């Protein structure tokens, strides 16, 4: 399964509490009235409605792990000590990416221009969480396909830019996923545009017979 | 096996299914990386032996090992052309293993690729693929079919349709849920309603995580289930231990859920991943002597999308059906449909659902248009945009069938009349796809003027529908609204039909409302008065414009008055904080707490922007000096908001909302200050803010800018992706005390030390403060910058920096 698979119009299940956490909510101290909660929910729903989430993934064999280097079957070299640790029992890697589309970024910018910063900040947090949840969706879906084959996904995934997994490696993900086909662009600083776009990698372990 | 025999098999007894196969075959020697189905077909004795063990453990039905034997999955191994042969062989092996001791189900599961619109595989391609598998299984001698481990209701439908179009054998369909929804967002009730009406003979869940999670799913389905329910859980959650998959439940702990599942309403039990014949044996032992529970079924009319079910019934809230996706009289929609511009369709769908529509009527009737293709596009667009079920509004059989075939839920056909040709053409299509329908009391002679005439047609059409297997809950009778401008008794006749449906015939009703006032002035008044009368006579649903406030007010009030909205909670919630005529959706109201404001101070603390503006104005009118208002009310209030945020009693939106309220009040006070030649407040200092070169993420910087302004600083905001030169020039020109920079990426944060180097080179009497997702204290300190990880802390830090600077630091 070397081809890039694209999944469109994803409606991922996301955790509203994680959106609140992104906004600094503390479950022991922050008190929110029912009205504030309703408003947050309205904005989260609005975010969900305006986002058009597309994801892509592909599975590549892992040829060699020589920490911090990981060499994939097509010769791609990734680097990261924690990533090497994550993949140590994996024979294959799941390369994935997701984007929430440009509309939500435009909405966030427009709200800021209109002085509706509190709305913008909620929608920004919701959009980040929902985009991230699209990768949970991809992992759950791939896991379901892999299970009958006696394969399991690692529970964790890593994204470029975290720890020693350099952000510059976004370029490798961009190439491996043909991310331009998802409407994603990458700039010189390896920033993804639209802003609510994310890449990640997880490992696939093969059960022993 | 016939469907009747299947029903008989489940009568008053629990059925035991089989358990996991893949893991057992791996233990028996199946290597990793091979096609499991092909390997099992070659190693038939091992497969047969495993299946025999399940029968010995008590399984009434075993599944042929054909889970992944569809052409799309087999193509991954380059053997798609062996689909028929592999399925036939595996069915024959299972048949041999079962003998007369058990039934054999042909097993069909996901094709491994997502269907359109999620993926690129089209619905018909999937149906055709499954049909190839079905043919092999039929020729191999299966007794029935089991569609299992489906994540997408649409794919489950494709498999079910493929089987139904190939044979009359019974079909059990189970889906895999992650929590209380499938991965594609399908909820248990919509899964049940869609599949049982499409013709599944048993429905349920399999795989997922474990039996505990399935109890709730079965419980949700049971009161609405016309068919037996199935639970076939995993042995808990899998994890890898020393290279082998281990499940966290043993046979005993797995079987311990048997009673609970039976009490929840299950009729057939088995196992999935990680379970073995021992698990099934233990379940059988516990279930021995137990019978399935009988639950009184709710006789509601149930329409659903793939994500939501709407229940229509006399004492449930009135069902509002949005009318606006109908191009009749809407030039903009007609033009959009002719251009295949589906953005207009999704906007209209969202707008109506936000306004309170529970279902949407979808009509593609534009002269000269390809109704079939347009209707399909509209149905796809609406499904993607909103979760509510739809009415497919057409009498064109070809367009209707095309739309029903791809609709991933249970739609309502609008409408089927007593006109003999239409009746005979549309009823079978509606039945085939398990849809509900609107019964229009019109026949070949036309529209009866009297209620009696219409009632006769209702009885006649229902009788024909009943012969085809429909029941009353599958039908909504149209009361047939005529305009009172041409027939003064028209409305009364409609009310008589509705009343008869409610009291005598006991069937749910619908009307297309706005026709009643056609040709009259002030139509809204007539429409809402008639709606209230119809609801009082038992009307259960209506097609109307949900954006019409008066109409929605009438619906909500009628529900409360007729006790359909218990304690008026829905009414109160709908109108909570909303005055009539106000657009509920455009309000911005992250008001942290109490809204009954007494002062400007409270308005800012509560983040009530409107109240802040009003109370600021009132304060000026009452004669307070602008400076006094700022010093005694606004500054203490915004400081209090900051304190609450610091104590984490407020979260970020509330902090910002407080600043927004402050800003709004300041806009009222500032002109008065200028008149008095007074400063707003003594500026604490000047800060140049920017996002560094190469970085386009600016929401954090914008939040900081807004807070700094409202906490008394003069802010020069240079925007995002800003060169060092511009930053230095702005700091010089404005005699800035601080430069505050933000960066979100490791690739852009390195611009920060470069700015610091330029500041030193230019000898600026100014400090550098940095922040952003990837920046930390040690990085900041490495080039002599101050650091803050939070916008509010940055304000406090700026305060301190400027105090030190003023003290010669």
Q: For B94-139, what is each residue's pLDDT tens digit?
A: 999 999 999 999 999 999 888 888 888 899 999 999 999 999 999 9
**Quick one: three-class SS letters along B559-595?**
HHHCCCCHHHHHHHHHHCCCCCCCCHHHCCCCCCCCC
Q: Is it true that B318-409 and B686-806 share their CATH fold?
A: yes
CATH architecture of the domain with range B686-806: 3-Layer(aba) Sandwich (3.40)
**Residue B240 near residue A86 (C-beta atoms within 8 A):** no
Domain B3-287 falls under CATH 3.20.20.330: yes
Nearest to A30 among B113, B649, B694 (CB): B649
**DSSP code of residue B358:** S
User: What is the per-residue pLDDT for B592?
Assistant: 44
Highest mean pLDDT (candidates A156-170, A179-193, B426-440, B476-490): B426-440
pLDDT of the residue at B267: 97
**Tally of CA atoms within 13 A in the half-sphere of B61 that contains its CB:** 27
Question: Dmax of chain B from CA atoms?
Answer: 101
Instruction: Say how far apart CA B37 and CA B44 lie, in whole Å.
Output: 10
Contact B667, B613 (CB under 8 A): yes
| Count of other CB atoms within 10 angstroms of residue B567 | 9
What's the CA gap between A19 and B653, in Å, rounded? 12
Alpha helices in B311-445 (DSSP H): 331-338, 342-354, 371-385, 397-406, 420-432
Output A148 or B188, whichever has higher pLDDT. Answer: B188
Question: With contact defined as beta carbons under 8 Å apart, do B359 and B310 qualify?
Answer: yes
**Phi-psi category of residue A196: left, alpha or beta, with phi > 0 → left and psi -120 to 50 → alpha:** beta
Asked if B592 lies within 8 A of A36 by C-beta distance, the reply is yes
Q: Can you tell me the distance from the alpha carbon of B725 to that of B467, in angstroms, rounded to the nearest whole number?
A: 83
The model scores a pTM over 0.80: yes
pLDDT at B588: 45
If you measure CA to CA, which chain B residue comes closest to A5? B119
CA angle A46, A51, A57 (to 5 degrees): 150
Beta bridge partners of A53: A10
Task: Burial-class residue B172 by CB neighbours within 10 Å (0-12, 13-18, 19+).
Answer: buried
Cα Rg of chain B, angstroms: 34
Domain ranges of chain B: 3-287, 318-409, 600-675, 686-806
Closest CA to B264 of B6, B10, B14: B14
**Min distance B576 CA to chain A CA atoms (Å):** 9
Q: Indicate the residue of A6, A38, A115 with minimum beta-carbon distance to B660.
A: A115
In whole angstroms, give the CA distance from residue B399 to residue B376: 8
pLDDT at res. B681: 61
Which residues share a beta bridge with A193? A185
H or E element at residue A108: helix A102-113
| Cβ contact A205–B243 (<8 Å) | yes
**Contact criterion met (CB below 8 Å) for B108 and B142:** no
Element (H, E) at B51: helix B44-57
Tens digits of per-residue pLDDT, A77-123? Answer: 999 999 999 999 899 999 999 999 999 999 999 999 998 999 999 99
Just give the CATH number of B600-675. 1.10.1240.10
Report the pLDDT averaged over residues A40-63: 93
Q: Report pLDDT for B578.
A: 47
Q: Do residues B274 and B20 touch, judged by C-beta distance below 8 A?
A: yes
Q: Which of B109, B106, B270 is nearest to B175 (CA)?
A: B109
Q: Nearest-CA distance from A175 to chain B in Å?
A: 19
Are A152 and B185 a contacting pair at CB < 8 A?
no
Q: Is the peptide bond before B312 cis (omega within 30 degrees of 0)?
A: no
Chain B residues in contact with A166 (beta carbon < 8 A): 746
Identify the structural domains of chain A with CATH numbers, from first to last: 5-206 (3.40.109.40)
Tell me if B166 sits within 8 A of B131, measured CB to CB. Answer: yes
Identify which of B110, B745, B774 has the shortest CB distance to residue A190. Answer: B745
Disruptive mutation site among B151, B240, B776 for chain A (greatest number of A CBs within 10 Å): B240
> Quick one: residue A190, left, alpha or beta (phi over 0 = left, psi -120 to 50 = alpha)?
left
pLDDT above 90 (res A21): yes
Check: CB of residue B687 under 8 Å from CB of residue B714. yes
C-alpha distance from B801 to closest chain A C-alpha (Å): 25
Instruction: State residue B809's pLDDT score.
Output: 61
CB-CB neighbors (< 8 A) of A49 in chain B: 350, 385
Instruction: Give B706's contacts in chain A (Cβ within 8 Å).
Output: 117
Count residue pairs from A and B with Cβ separation < 8 A.
Answer: 190
Nearest CA in chain A to B179: A13
Does residue B415 have a cis bond before it (omega within 30 degrees)? yes
Subunit contact B695:A189, Cβ cutoff 8 A? yes
Q: Which residues of chain B have pLDDT under 70?
A: 243, 576-598, 677-681, 809
Q: Using alpha carbons only, what angle is made at residue B348 by residues B347 and B352, rounded to the nearest 5 degrees?
A: 115
Q: What's the angle, vertex CA B33, arms to CA B30 and CA B35, rounded to 5?
A: 70
What's the average model confidence in pLDDT over A39-55?
Answer: 91
Is the domain covering B318-409 a CATH 2.30.30 domain? no
List the strands of the sheet with B15-16, edge to edge. Answer: B15-16, B268-269, B229-233, B202-207, B171-175, B144-150, B103-108, B61-63
Q: Can you tell me the ipTM of this complex?
A: 0.89
């Amino acid at each position: 399964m070397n081809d890039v698979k694209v999944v469109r119009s994803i409606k991922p299940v996301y955790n509203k509490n994680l959106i609140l956490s992104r906004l600094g909510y503390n479950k022991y101290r922050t008190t929110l009235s029912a009205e504030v909660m309703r408003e947050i929910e309205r904005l989260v729903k609005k975010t969900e409605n305006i986002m058009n989430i597309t994801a892509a993934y592909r599975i590549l064999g892992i040829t060699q792990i020589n920490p911090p280097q990981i060499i994939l079957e097509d010769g791609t070299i990734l680097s990261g000590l924690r990533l090497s640790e994550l993949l140590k029992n994996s024979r294959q890697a799941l390369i994935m990416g997701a984007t929430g589309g440009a509309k939500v970024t435009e909405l966030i910018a427009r709200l800021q221009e209109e002085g509706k910063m509190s709305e913008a900040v909620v929608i920004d947090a919701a959009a980040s969480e929902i985009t991230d949840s699209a990768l949970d969706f991809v992992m759950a879906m791939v896991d379901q396909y892999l299970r009958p084959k006696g394969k399991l996904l690692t529970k964790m995934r890593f994204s470029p830019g975290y720890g020693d997994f350099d952000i510059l490696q976004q370029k490798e993900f961009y190439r491996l996923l043909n991310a331009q086909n998802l409407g994603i662009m990458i700039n010189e600083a390896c920033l993804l545009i639209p802003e609510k776009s994310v890449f990640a990698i997880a490992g696939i372990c093969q059960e022993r017979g | 096996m016939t469907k009747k025999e299947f029903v008989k098999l489940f009568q008053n007894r629990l059925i035991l299914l089989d358990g996991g196969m893949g893991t057992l075959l791996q233990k028996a020697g199946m290597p990793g990386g091979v096609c499991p189905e092909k390997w099992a077909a070659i190693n038939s004795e091992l497969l047969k032996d495993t299946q025999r063990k399940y029968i010995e453990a008590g399984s009434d039905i075993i599944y042929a090992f054909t889970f992944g034997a569809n052409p799309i999955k087999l193509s991954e191994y380059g053997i798609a052309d062996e689909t028929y042969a592999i399925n036939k062989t595996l069915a024959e092996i299972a048949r041999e293993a079962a003998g007369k001791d058990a039934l054999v189900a042909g097993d069909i599961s996901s094709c491994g690729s997502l269907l359109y619109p999620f993926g690129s595989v089209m619905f018909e391609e999937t149906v055709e693929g499954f049909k190839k598998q079905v043919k092999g299984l039929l020729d191999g001698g299966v007794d029935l079919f089991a569609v299992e481990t489906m994540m997408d209701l649409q794919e489950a439908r494709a498999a079910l349709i493929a089987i139904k179009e190939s044979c009359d054998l019974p079909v059990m369909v189970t889906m895999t849920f992650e929590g209380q929804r499938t991965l594609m967002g399908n909820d248990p009730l919509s899964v049940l309603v869609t599949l049982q009406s499409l013709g599944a003979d048993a429905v349920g869940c399999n795989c997922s995580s474990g039996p505990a999670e399935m109890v709730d799913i079965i419980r949700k389905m049971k009161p609405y289930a016309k068919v037996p329910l199935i639970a076939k859980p995993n042995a808990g959650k899998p994890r890898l231990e020393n290279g082998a998959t281990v499940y966290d439940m043993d046979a005993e702990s797995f079987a311990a859920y048997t009673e609970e599942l039976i009490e929840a309403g299950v009729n057939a039990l088995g196992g999935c991943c990680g379970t073995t014949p021992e698990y099934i044996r233990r379940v059988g032992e516990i279930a021995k002597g137990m019978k399935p529970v009988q639950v009184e079924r709710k006789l509601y009319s149930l329409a659903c999308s793939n994500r939501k079910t709407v229940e229509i019934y006399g004492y449930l809230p009135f069902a509002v059906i949005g009318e606006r996706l109908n191009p009749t009289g809407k030039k903009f929609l007609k033009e959009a449909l002719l251009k295949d511009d589906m953005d207009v369709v999704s906007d209209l769908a969202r707008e109506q659902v936000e306004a309170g529509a529970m279902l949407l009527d979808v009509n593609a009737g534009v002269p000269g248009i390809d109704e079939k293709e347009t209707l399909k596009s509209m149905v796809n667009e609406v499904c993607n945009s909103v979760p509510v079920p739809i009415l497919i509004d057409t009498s064109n059989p070809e367009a209707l069938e095309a739309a029903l075939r791809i609709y991933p839920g249970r739609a309502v056909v609008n409408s089927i009349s007593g006109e003999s040709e239409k009746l005979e053409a549309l009823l079978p299509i509606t039945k085939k796809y398990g849809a509900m329908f609107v019964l229009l009391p019109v026949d070949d002679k036309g529209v009866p003027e009297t209620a009696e005439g219409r009632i006769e047609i209702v009885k006649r059409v229902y009788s024909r529908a009943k012969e085809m297997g429909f029941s009353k809950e599958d039908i909504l009778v149209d009361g047939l609204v005529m305009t009172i401008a041409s027939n003064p008794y028209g409305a009364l006749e409609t009310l008589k039909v509705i009343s008869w449906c409610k009291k005598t015939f006991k069937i749910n009703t619908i009307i297309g409302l706005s026709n009643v006032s056609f040709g009259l002035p002030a139509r809204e008044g007539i429409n809402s008065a008639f709606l209230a009368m119809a609801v009082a006579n038992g009307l259960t649903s209506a097609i109307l414009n949900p954006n019409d406030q008066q109409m929605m007010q009438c619906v909500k009030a009628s529900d409360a008055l007729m006790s359909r909205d218990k304690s008026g909670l829905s009414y109160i919630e709908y109108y909570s904080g909303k005055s009539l005529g106000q657009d509920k959706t455009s309000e911005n109201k992250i008001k942290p707490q109490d809204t009954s404001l007494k002062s400007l101070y409270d308005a800012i603390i509560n983040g009530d922007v409107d109240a802040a503006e009003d109370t600021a104005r009132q304060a000026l009118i009452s004669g307070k000096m602008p400076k006094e208002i700022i010093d005694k009310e606004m500054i203490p209030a915004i400081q209090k908001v900051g304190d609450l945020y610091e104590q984490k009693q407020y979260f970020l939106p509330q902090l910002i909302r407080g600043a927004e309220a402050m800003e709004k009040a300041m806009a009222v006070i500032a002109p008065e200050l200028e008149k008095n030649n007074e400063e707003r407040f003594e500026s604490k200092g000047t800060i140049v803010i920017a996002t560094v070169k190469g970085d386009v993420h600016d929401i954090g910087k914008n939040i900081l800018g807004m807070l700094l302004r409202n906490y008394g600083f003069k802010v020069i905001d240079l925007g995002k992706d800003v060169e060092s030169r511009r930053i230095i020039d702005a700091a010089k020109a404005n005699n800035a005390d601080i430069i505050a920079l933000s960066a979100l990426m490791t690739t852009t944060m390195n611009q920060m030390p470069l700015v610091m180097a330029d500041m030193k080179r230019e000898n600026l009497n100014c400090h550098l403060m940095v922040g952003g997702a990837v920046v930390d204290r040690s990085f900041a300190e490495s080039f002599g910058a101050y650091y803050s990880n939070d916008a509010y802390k940055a304000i406090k830090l700026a305060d301190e920096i400027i105090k030190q600077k003023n003290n010669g630091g």
